[in-house]
Structure 1
Amino acid sequence: MVIPVHDVNPVRRTPFVTYALICANFVVFLATPGVVDSLTGESGLAQLCRLQAFLDQWAAVPQEMIHQQTPPVVPTGDVGLGPQGPGCVVGPPDYDKSPPLSVVTAMFLHGSWLHLLGNMLFLLIFGNNIEDRLGHVRYLLFYGACGYAAAYVYALANNTSDDPLIGASGAIAGVLGAYLVLYPKARVWVLVPFLIFLPLRLPAWIVLGSWFVLQAVYSSGAGVSAAGTVAYLAHVAGFLAGMILAWPLRRGTPPPPEPRGLLFGRRARPGRPERQG
């Protein structure tokens, strides 16, 4: 798995929506119960109960999305003593939850720092060009549409699951799919783990195409354990949705400028042909 760090594809306008989405994701993550405790190394049953109650209210749950029903009892966030010892208290929900709207809130929830930082890195690198091509408002609608497509395809395939679905991965996968359609020849600087991290400049179609193939393989169950918690199918669905939505725009999209005179981040000597990574 290569790690993208920068693309050679300048934009014409400031990607305000992309920056706002990144900021919103960080703010929501820091407001998620248990995040501050995880930074200090503190954890316990009370933290787990608060997190369960928070996710039950704001995360997208496939069973609820498909059947349009919320459970009669949910975690309350409190700790109680039951027949088998201390545990999380459950009771009737004190809130009204809309399963379709929970898809929106779930797009801003993340389960760990690694989950958040990985998603935001991809959004920062590739989102600005898609926003530049679509415009601010259409880009925001596109982002939401890909997130919904990813969530509902996953929910349809797991319609009995009550595990919460969280993360911006589906929407960001749509951004990657659009980038592959609109800018397949754009150069992307990546770090390739091979004993050390080697910097290479590769075409976007290789970087994003290999990412999609990997997600598709994992979504089939190959190469991952049954206990895996990543919704790979949502990544695949979001990516395909982004490709489909961006396809009509590909003919009117100017190609990215071809980088000149750079060799692995350094300026090549005069007269030396540029080596394509």
Structure 2
Amino acid sequence: MALPLYDNQPTRRAPLVTYLLIAANVVVFLLSPIASIGHQDEGVEQRRCEQVTFMLKYGAIPKELVSDRQIPVPEEVDRACRPEPFHKRPWLSALSSMFLHGGVAHILGNMVYLFIFGAATEDRLGRLRFLLFYLAAGLIAAYGFAVTYPGSDTPLVGASGAIAGVLGSHLILYPRSRTIALILSIFPFRLPSWTLLAQFFVFQWLSLGDQQSQTAYVAHIYGFVAGMIVGLLVRRGTVARKSAALSWN
């Protein structure tokens, strides 16, 4: 696997929405029980209960998404943690889950990809449309995963689905851009961006059969394909506008 460090696609303005999304993800992570900041005085079991309850409350549970109904807290969690009752709207959890992460490595990897590839797509779409696209890609990823695994009661968390949409759009909109990446996390190479992004998609596809992994590869694929479709529509619209402008000259 290659870790991207820099993409050379120029932009015309600062990617404020990309920066704000990164900031929002980091702040939510630091304030959540997962980061354990402010929870050092608690026992290990109490901290684990807070983390599990937090994920159940704000994570996107496939069984809830397909039925649009909140399911009861698992019996083993209720016995061990006795969580306070909470009300949950499944469709809102599909949004909140995009800003939750399971650990430092999880959020760091996602934010690196968003920082490197989000700027160019935001520049092309515009700030508001980019934000709507990002959220829509995340929703498509979450609901796509839920439709594929409707019986799952494991919370889905992370910005990966939305960021996969950004990667898919970048692949279509900027196929000739070049990226500096670490190969095997050691050796820096300058690569065409499409090779790195295609590798991401192929890796997700080949990993679908990994039953032991907790990574939602299907959600990444849904998000990536959604991003590619948006990229194709944007390119088609750009070509149509250029053709119309030439016809008036």
State the TM-score, normalized to the length of structure 1: 0.80
Q: Does the CA-based 8 Å contact 1:37-1:43 persist in structure 2?
A: no
1:197 aligns with 2:186: yes
- The offset of 1:10, in angstroms, is 1.3
What is the RMSD of the two structures over their aligned residues, measured on CA atoms?
2.2
Misfit runs of 4+, over 3 Å = 37-43, 72-75
CA contact (8 A) 1:34 1:43 kept: no
Identical positions, percent: 45
Q: Are the aligned partners of 1:4 and 1:188 in contact in 2 as well (CA < 8 Å)? A: yes
Assess if the C-alpha contact under 8 Å between 2:33 and 2:39 holds in 1: no
Aligned residue for 1:144, secondary structure, equals helix
Distance 1:214 1:72 in 2: 35
TM-superposed CA distance for 1:150, in Å, is 0.5
Max radius of gyration: which structure? Answer: 1
Instruction: Give the equivalent residue in structure 2 for 1:238.
Output: 223
Rounded to whole Å, the distance in 1 between the matches of 2:50 and 2:25 is 19
2:36 aligned counterpart, secondary structure: helix
Trace 1:216-235 onto structure 2 (pairs within 5 A). Answer: 216-219=205-208, 221=209, 224=210, 226-235=211-220
User: SS of the counterpart of 1:107?
Assistant: helix
Structure-2 change in CA distance of 1:200 and 1:99 (3 Å)? same
Partner Cα separation in structure 1 for residue 38 and residue 83 of structure 2: 24
Q: Which residue of structure 2 lines up, in the alignment, with residue 164 of structure 1? A: 155
String of CA shifts for 1:64-121, please: whole Å, max 9, x gaps.
Answer: 000111124468x99xxx6xxxx22256x2x321101111100000001000000000
Give the number of the structure whose residues are more often helix, by fraction: 2
CA positional deviation for 1:250: 2.0
Aligned match of 1:89: 82
- Structure 2 residue aligned with 1:4: 4
Instruction: Tell me if structure 1 keeps the 8 A contact 2:17–2:131.
Output: yes
Q: Counting strand residues as a fraction of each chain, which structure ranks higher?
A: 1
Alignment of 1:180-191 (within 5 A): 180-191=171-182
Map 1:265-276; keep pairs closer than 5 Å. Answer: none
User: Is the 2:30–2:37 Cα contact (8 Å) retained in structure 1?
Assistant: no
Paired residue total: 237
Match of 1:176 among 161, 167, 175: 167
Q: Which of 103, 126, 131 is the aligned partner of 1:112?
A: 103
Paired residue type of 1:31: L
Measured in 2, the distance between the counterparts of 1:11 and 1:39 equals 41
Answering whether residue 121 of structure 2 is matched by residue 130 of structure 1, we say yes
Distance 1:90 1:32 in 2: 16
- What TM-score, normalized by structure 2, do the two folds share? 0.89
Q: 1:124-168 deviations in whole A, cap 9, x for unaligned?
A: 000000000000000000001110111111001111111000000
Cross-structure match for 1:24: 24
Change over 3 Å in CA distance of 1:41–1:8 after alignment to 2? farther
Residues 203, 73 of structure 1: alpha-carbon distance in 2 compared, 3 angstrom cutoff: closer
Question: How far is 1:212 from its partner?
Answer: 0.6
Does structure 1 residue 55 correspond to structure 2 residue 40?
A: no
State whether structure 2 residue 20 is matched by structure 1 residue 35.
no
Provide the secondary structure at the position in 1 that maps to 2:186.
strand
Which amino acid letter does the alignment assign opposite residue 245 of structure 1? Answer: V
Secondary structure of residue in 1 paired with 2:81:
strand
Structure 2 CA distance for aligned equivalents of residues 184 and 39 of structure 1: 46
Aligned with 1:170: secondary structure? helix
- Alignment CA distance shift 1:156-1:118 (3 Å): same
- Larger RCO: 1 or 2 (CA < 8 Å, sep 6+): 2
The code of the aligned residue for 1:244 comes to I
